[in-house]
Chains A and B, each alone.
Chain A
Amino acid sequence: MTRRNLRLADRGRLDRSQPIRFIFNGRTYYGYKGDTLASALIANGVALVGRSFKYHRPRGIMTAGSEEPNGLVQLGQGARTEPNIRATQIELYDGLVAASQNCWPSVGFDLGATNNLLSRFFPAGFYYKTFMWPASFWMKYEYFIRRAAGLGKAPGEPDPDRYDKTYAHCDVLVAGGGPAGIAAALAAARAGARVVLADEQAEFGGQLLHSRSEEIAGRPAVDWVAAAVAELSTMPEVTLLRRTTAFAYQDHNFVELVERVTDHLGPGADGPRQRYWRLRARQVVLAAGAIERPLVFADNDRPGIMLASAGRAYANRYGVAVGDKVLVFTGNDSAYRAALDLAEAGTAIAAIVDLRPDAGGPLVAEARGKGIEVLAAHAVTATRGSARLEGVTVMPLNAAGDGVTGGGRQIACDALLMSGGWNPAIHLFSHNRGKLRFDERVQSFVPGEPVRGCHTAGAMNGAFETADCLAQGFAAGRKAASEAGASGEAGSVPTVTRAEPAESPDRVLWIVPSDKPLGEGGKHFVDHQNDVTAADVALAHREGYRSVEHLKRYTTMGMGTDQGKTSNVNALAIMAALRDRQIPEVGHTTFRPPFAPVTIGAFSGHDKGDLFDPIRKTPMHGWHEKTGAPFEDVGQWKRAWYYPKPGEDMHAAVAREVKAVRAGVGIVDASTLGKIDIKGSDAARLLNMVYTNAWSKLEIGRCRYGLMCGEDGMVFDDGVTTRLGEQHFLMSTTTGNAARVLGWLEEWLQCEWPDWQVHCTSVTEQFATVGLNGPMARKLLAELTDDIPLDDAAFPFMSIREGHVAGIAARVMRISFTGELTFEINVAASYGLALWEALMAAGEKYGITPYGTEAMHVLRAEKGFIIVGQETDGTQTPQDLDMAWIVSKQKPDHLGKRSFLRTDTARPDRKHLVGLLTENPSEVIPEGGQVVAELKNQPPMTMLGHVTSSYYSPNVGRSIAMAVVKNGRNRMGDTVYVPLVDRVIRAKVTEPRFFDLEGARLNG
């Protein structure tokens, strides 16, 4: 590769005072501030930037924007490396490192390029067809395909960059900052609307940035842009977002955008790398512009072949000639502007090959006048060159445009600018279910019926003249502002005071013919990124994949990172021709978000790592943490799991904790349990409906356990509820269900029983809750209270007393989840730690032992108490859980009652909760183990159920387990098996209770 310099001396919007150094494929180059990686590479004569996806053909830059299908690079190194970044959108910064991707071992020598020679084995639908071969064949191919395919490499390390995300609101969002968008923003902002103007480029202006002769409001177009942007930037209610892509237009005018905040400054710049905007706009103006359409001709993919508008942008905006000798191939006038601008800058124009037999009009005349050869009714039929275009063959077209007539003429050139017309960028409009209409004049789809709250303007409507863009944009901006309620004076439409020459009609040939049949002697690429050719579309048609959605999936046309921005319309048109239909009859594929790829980091913002999801902490959390307790996640709560002493593992710590509770006194942080204050004359009535048991007769000051079922009769929560007054209850819920239960009560009260007089208020966080469990609990508590009598007669089991503990106002309940004498002490949350520390200090002499959730689970399992969510999974009735005793037969109604009578819930052989005692008492069955009655040598075996809880119980002196087993209550004493990968555990079915069966320990 020889070093070249294609820089134009006096063109471009570059800061040439300081060269910028960058590295591409290991080689150092220089560019300027204002360059993109693409423009800098072209300036340095680097035409070959990558290899194509399937055939590994050499490819170069094809466009100057986000529609780029070829120029995808691996940007950055190490943890910051990022694949599939469009070189056309990378602003050059000092030290930039990028490399070609999809080539192995190097872009110049690519083993995968043999795919190109073997291409007849890679037809449309290759992957599908290969899958249909014997599977063993696929295994062999897969290794090579995986190695050679794929687009770039994902980083292997965590992303060190910072991302930001924000909600935003405005009256009018203008997406697209070309002439239409700027005019819309001006009109809306002047009318007083809150405006956001977003454009994906570094500068506002769109096509005006490479316009040379146009004047708006009496000054050069770029100066008008600068003045308009200056005006907008002084308006406090206007937000200007450069380098910001609106990538999704969702329901109700919710638009997602990504702003590349510091990408252009390089790694490690101050501030977030990107910002993800979630914007709600009252009104949206889409001014997304248009994307030039490539011509589909033989070998139209060689490096150096690019869109005509890109050639013009590189010359006028970036100060780069795309070649030394440039051939222009077009069916319309717009490409002439590129030829004329390049010629004016001193670049040789090899010829303008024009599909139109009647090529005329002022632009054609101007080209001819400048001595440029114009070959009317001609076509490029072949191209030459490998790492860079070297020349083309040009032949005259026949009258119909479906064949060529004469001998070929060879023309040497090192760049080819093509234009097949323009496709309005209707993607965002389509995201929001906007219906499209095929426009005969522009031979492409444009917005059809308007969508509420959405306005379109400019080139995306098919209005390509600057004056029309300004007029449409201004009108759309004013209308949007007015519909958003801002109706101030918007002034008048900016006028074009010096226009570019008017264009004469286009000629569209969806496939440019050559002297060979389609598919032979050259590839007519339609989708450059996915290597889909016109012949592939024809093959798909022959094989019956004729709907556009089938065509897309069968050929992969329109997939990949560019989502077919340059290829869709050509492919649809070719398919329409094959089916002998009109394009609108064939229709188009669905455009879905995102418009352009968005890095995952932007979606997370700083909601990652420890901020990914809330971590809820109890008032005593710091104490548990200091003591070295690991935490268990229970919903969003962190609960102390166990408190290891030095040298203890989890097993040893839990064994010590459960023994200490039954031998002395244990202390547990139960603050996470849900608590709901229920007041009103219908409070008891509500409880009677939501619990399966009866509540009316519960005395004031007494507590009762309840099970809550859904209308389907399945248990979904349990807990103890206390009557504090005639019309006042305090309900407790499981930790994980606190919000759900409150929601459940509210839903029934608001939707079904709106006349009931009852109010529910969450008081979960009002209290810190400490459980004192064990035979010494009473003795310890007595030392810390002088106004709560603790003996059984004065303070019986399942009752509540109010008084003071350690001087802190407290509600104390005698309820038990361990089967031991238990006092549950509730104090104001801010005193929770003080209470805990007082109990620990006073309890020292009793050997007070803090215990975590694991010991709590073992202790309750010893007693056979269920945990909702562990023994239950939404398919257990109270009867299944051996808790028929808690279902009132007297109550006329409660939620779920009717479901207990359903044939399925009433049948006697449902899965029942049972105990399992392993044959080997020291063996603990893994939770989740499947229970079978008949053992076979290998699966499948008839599964009866599964183990729900299983622990080693030091208090029982053996392992214990609970399980839900089909017909379990009728299997008492039977032996069942739990087959595991490496062994089978034998166990006997028992009652699901293992310790203190008579309940003698409750009173200490």
Chain B
Amino acid sequence: MVESYRRRSPLASFGLPARAAAQSPEAVADADLQLGERPHRCQINLRGNPQDGRFLEAVRNAAGLALPTEPNRVAAAGELKALWLGPDEWLILGPGGRETELVGTLARGLQGQHAGATDVSEARTWILVAGGRARALLARGIPLDLHPREFRPGHCAQTGLAGANIILQQTDDRPSYEIGVTNSFADHLWHWLERGAIDYRVAISV
């Protein structure tokens, strides 16, 4: 029965796939900024004590990941990533659909420990900001120093942007950034990004 319903991403009302389809290849090639939504990911909030070898071991067994213990770093293994959120907190990020199985595996593996896994896949969407102007656009609202000497692929941070709390990660050197933002703020943040990019050549990336 559920298949008959359309699952909607937080930015569905912007019609981004249609806008992307309407772009000319020249405009895409000429763009100095790519914006897009990366919704419906597997996201699991993981809590536990990294000083406890049993905890790290259980996570490694369940998710195949070595959790980053250095603050604001991302560890990747296969299609999964772990983003450091706090000294006892991480976000496991992966392709949509894996959350139910993974949260179950983690919960079983962590049984008896002071640790927990909570499915937050539905709580947040991700926005791609990439290209030559990405850094300048983000600097309009992010108080962090995104200069490559300070922030690189494999780095992540939680901060504020346009009044919303966000998780930021850099994924490559173009540079590409992904901004995790809770659903309710996504509409506002997208507006803010497009307004801030008014002087740039923007392509929608899907």
Contacts and interface: CB of A to CB of B under 8 A. Distances in A.
Is there a direct interface between A and B, measured as CB atoms under 8 Å apart in the complex? yes
B27 interface: no
A778 B40 CA distance: 32
A636 B8 CA distance: 22
Contact of A610 (B7, B47, B185, B191): B191
A616 B114 contact: no
Interface stretch (B52-60, B63-71, B119-127): B119-127
Contact of B124 (A271, A615, A765): A765
A607 B149 CA distance: 29
Interface string A825-869: 000111111100110000000000000000000000000000000
B162 interface: yes
Given A605-B140, A761-B118, A833 B8 contact: yes
Contacts of A704: none
B120 A834 contact: no
Nearest to A838: B5
B105 interface: no
Contacts of B144: 167
B199 interface: yes
Interface in A639-687: 672, 677, 679-681
Interface string B131-143: 0000010011111
A611 interface: yes
B6 A757 contact: no
Interface in A139-194: 162, 164-169, 194
Contact of A614 (B116, B164, B195): B164
Contacts of A613: 163
Given A679-B116, A681-B114, A167 B140 contact: yes
B123 A829 contact: yes
Contacts of B116: 679-680, 759, 761
B114 A757 contact: yes
A830 B8 contact: yes
Contact of B7 (A681, A804, A834, A838): A834
Sort chain B's interface into a size bin: 35 or more
Contacts of B122: 765-767, 828-830
Nearest to B43: A766
B158 interface: no
A80 interface: no
A830 B114 contact: no
Contacts of B184: 616-618, 637, 672, 765
B201 to A, nearest CB: 13
Interface in B92-149: 114, 116, 118-124, 136, 139-145, 147, 149
B44 to A, nearest CB: 10
A619 B6 CA distance: 12
Contacts of B185: 614, 616
Contacts of B164: 614
Interface in B138-197: 139-145, 147, 149-150, 162-164, 182-185, 187-189, 191-192, 195-196
Nearest to B48: A759
B73 to A, nearest CB: 20
Nearest to B149: A194
A808 B2 contact: yes
A59 interface: no
Given A194-B147, A611-B191, A766 B120 contact: yes
A757 B47 CA distance: 11
Contacts of A611: 162, 188, 191-192, 195
A614 B163 contact: yes
Contacts of B145: 169, 280
Contacts of A759: 47, 116
B13 interface: yes
A806 interface: yes
Given A619-B8, A622-B13, A637-B184, A763 B118 contact: yes
B123 A680 contact: no
A167 B192 contact: no
A765 B162 CA distance: 18
A167 B114 contact: no
B22 interface: no
Contacts of A831: 2, 5, 7
B47 A761 contact: yes
A362 interface: no
Interface string A779-818: 0000000000000000000000000101110000000000
Nearest to B120: A766
Interface string A618-634: 11011000000000000
B1 interface: yes
Contacts of A833: 6, 8
Contacts of B195: 606, 611
Interface string B1-45: 111111111100100000000000000000000000001100001
Contacts of B121: 766, 828
A679 B118 contact: yes
A808 B143 contact: no
Contacts of A622: 13
A514 interface: no
A765 B183 contact: yes
A722 interface: no
A619 B183 contact: yes
A256 to B, nearest CB: 13
The interface centre, meaning the residue of B45, B116, B198 with most chain A CB atoms within 10 A of its CB, is: B116
Contacts of B163: 613-614, 636
A764 interface: yes
A165 B118 contact: no
Interface string A272-290: 1000001010000000000
B187 A807 contact: no
B136 to A, nearest CB: 7
The interface centre, meaning the residue of A622, A761, A833 with most chain B CB atoms within 10 A of its CB, is: A761
A272 B200 CA distance: 12
Interface string A592-618: 000000000000011100110111111
A165 B162 contact: no
Contacts of A767: 122
Contact of A763 (B123, B150, B191): B123
A169 B13 CA distance: 36
A961 to B, nearest CB: 33
A167 B162 contact: no
Contacts of A615: 187-188
A165 B183 CA distance: 26
A8 to B, nearest CB: 39
Contacts of B9: 830
Nearest to B119: A766
A679 B111 CA distance: 12
A610 B140 CA distance: 17
Given A166-B136, A838-B5, A614 B162 contact: yes
Contacts of A672: 184
A166 B140 contact: yes
Given A605-B140, A763-B118, A830-B122, A808 B191 contact: no
Given A607-B162, A757-B114, A831-B7, A167 B143 contact: yes
Nearest to B138: A167
Query: Can you list the 9 inter-chain pairs with the closest CB atoms, starting with the nearest?
Result: A807-B1, A834-B5, A616-B184, A169-B145, A807-B2, A765-B123, A614-B163, A759-B47, A679-B116
8 contacts: A167-B140, A280-B145, A607-B192, A614-B164, A761-B116, A765-B123, A766-B122, A834-B5
Given A610-B191, A616-B184, A831-B2, 14 more contacts: A167-B142, A169-B145, A278-B143, A606-B196, A611-B188, A611-B191, A614-B164, A614-B189, A677-B118, A679-B116, A765-B124, A766-B123, A830-B40, A833-B8
